[in-house]
Structure 1
């Protein structure tokens, strides 16, 4: 299977036309904060919000979530309150937290904003939202809500990526290392190297796309919805996300040393040069096991791991998420 075999048709590549929305000058903010980032950071965020939004005379409410199991319910209540008061729902945390809050916002008609507080912050960085707390809070007061695309795997939404196979295992191991040694990019990269050195099994997958079916053997299927992340690993499909498509990456079944070689190419921005990598852009694919039986598989979406039954439908959401973000020229300057 090659990019040419699974290239997007003209109808797939046409972007949806949605205009930005201006936020009312008195719109209140309903802010959902993941307490897992630490008390000190929470206190600093609260203090900055009280100072900056208070000086601007803007109403806001903070919903601090101590138990991750309560995040979805807290986000849903924030959306209900925002709808009743024509407000904005704000997620504060890493990509997983932002995805959970955005999942409640999508389809509600409410605008969405983010205060980045994670390790990698791919979603916010890709859309030009500053990582500096003061700058991201200031953006709440000035930005318009721009449409951004989100993806789904079955009924689960993702902002950045979704995957099965080796990649969810990498994420699980990374969390264990973070619990022992702290949260940093260096710890994340070290845990990935250790995981790649272990034995791992390959998947046999059938991928249906645009009326064709192809079988691949791979260690992992990675579906990206983040141009910055795809550019960092050197994928040629990265620009196609702006045409309303997702990008899939699947390294062919190879040994551990070859797998590490592919990973090193990705780390140096040369993944597309690897001979043993299948990649293509799409709007919708269905992934099944050759046996056609309902199989339970581990899926990762924006860093959160869960179980799903095959078949797996990866697709673009029919409507966008309206995100408070800088205008295009400023957003491009902030992407790094």
Structure 2
């Protein structure tokens, strides 16, 4: 078997990667291999995308060590280069790893990354940008931006994320004047938040049957039509019990592709991709792709 070049992108800023010996722990867990290892570690969060681009350019296999944001950036450039991706999850939520059955234990994940098989893995796409978990904008992006501010002050944790989200609900909401084109049909509506889910684990937090409907088949659109603060808080309460479909002001739709435009002067929109804020040009073209990327994982999803 010819020698592989493996590029390992390590984000020590992820929740469980904040230790000085992370690389040493990975090296200790490596199976015996003739692979040529290249290590990449961005010194600043702003350089992560550029580092992932360099890694994918020189590797036969890209290994992402970090949370879902790190994995998304590495996957984006691995897909462009036609390279397989492996994941060693060290983030807070690790939604992709949990969905694919990738171990969250570092030793087990490292062994799988170097000995497992890459398989076609579904993902979402917006204007050429990949996402595994979600693409969202409107009120959701405000919650993400507030979470990052609060995290800088209080540290990264689930409690901080929840409290930050609740605090954001008491501020002014964006009102989005949407134009949706899908299946040859077009319609208009006003919304406070738009959420496209590609990972059933995340969709299940708002509606479990809807998540099952979308799993491995489609993007799940969760559209929050314009409503007052009291109704938003009621919806948040409903979401705790995973029955958001019971709230009449929410619309849940499974779809393969859609074009989304917004009536606004600024043609660049802040979008949350797997929790990372990215500016995208309108209109947004979203689609569900089943085989555009190979990911090392234990078994086929279905």
Alpha-carbon distance in 2 for matches of 1:230, 1:298: 21
Of residues 273, 278, 292 in structure 2, which corresponds to 1:306? 278
Shift of 1:308: 2.7
Q: TM-score under structure 2 normalisation?
A: 0.91
1:118 is paired with a residue whose SS is coil
Q: Choose the corresponding residue for 2:188, options 197, 215, 228.
A: 215
Give structure 2 stretches of 5+ with no counterpart: none
Asked if 1:129 is matched to 2:99, the reply is no
Query: How far did residue 319 of structure 1 move?
Result: 4.2
- Per mean C-alpha deviation after superposition, the further-off stretch among 95-104 and 282-291 is 282-291
How far did residue 93 of structure 1 move? Answer: 1.2
Q: In 2, Cα distance between the equivalents of 1:154 and 1:275?
A: 30
Q: Distance in 2 between matches of 1:201 and 1:143?
A: 45
| Segment drifting more, 151-160 vs 293-302 | 293-302
Native 8 Å contact 1:235 1:272 kept in 2: no
The alpha-carbon distance between structure 1 residues 38 and 262, as it changes in their structure 2 partners (threshold 3 A), is: closer
* Aligned CA distance change for structure 1 residues 34 and 243 (closer, same or farther; 3 Å): closer
Deviations 1:87-124 (A, max 9, x none): 31011111111111110000423210111121111111
Indicate whether 1:323 and 2:295 are aligned: yes
SS in 1 for 2:251: strand
Q: How does 1:1-336 map to 2 (within 5 A)?
A: 27-37=4-14, 41-53=18-30, 55-56=32-33, 58-82=35-59, 87-290=60-263, 295-317=267-289, 319-328=291-300
The structural deviation recorded for 1:45 is 2.3
Structure 2: distance between partners of 1:30 and 1:170? 33
Q: Provide the C-alpha distance between the structure 1 equivalents of 2:62 and 2:213, rounded to a whole number of angstroms.
A: 29
Stretch deviating more after TM superposition (162-171 or 61-70)? 61-70
Q: Assess if the C-alpha contact under 8 Å between 2:88 and 2:113 holds in 1.
A: no
| Residues in 2 aligned to 1:222 and 1:154: alpha-carbon distance in whole angstroms | 15
Deviation at 1:193, TM superposition (A): 0.6
CA contact (8 A) 1:240 1:246 kept: no
Contact 2:180 2:260 in 1 (8 A): yes
CA-to-aligned-CA distance 1:157-203 (integer Å, 9 cap, x gap): 21211111000000000011111111111110110011012221321
Aligned length: 302
Distance in 2, matches of 1:139 and 1:319, equals 21
Determine the structure 2 residue equivalent to 1:11: none
Mind listing any 5+ residue stretches in structure 1 that lack a counterpart?
1-23
1:46, CA displacement in angstroms?
Answer: 0.9
Q: What CA RMSD, in Å, does the superposition of the two structures yield over aligned residues?
A: 2.3
Superposition deviation, residue 273 in structure 1: 2.0
C-alpha separation between the residues in 2 aligned to 1:64 and 1:166? 33
Using the TM superposition, name which of 311-320 and 266-275 deviates more: 311-320
Q: Give 1:309 shift.
A: 2.9
8 Å CA contact retained: 1:235, 1:270:
yes
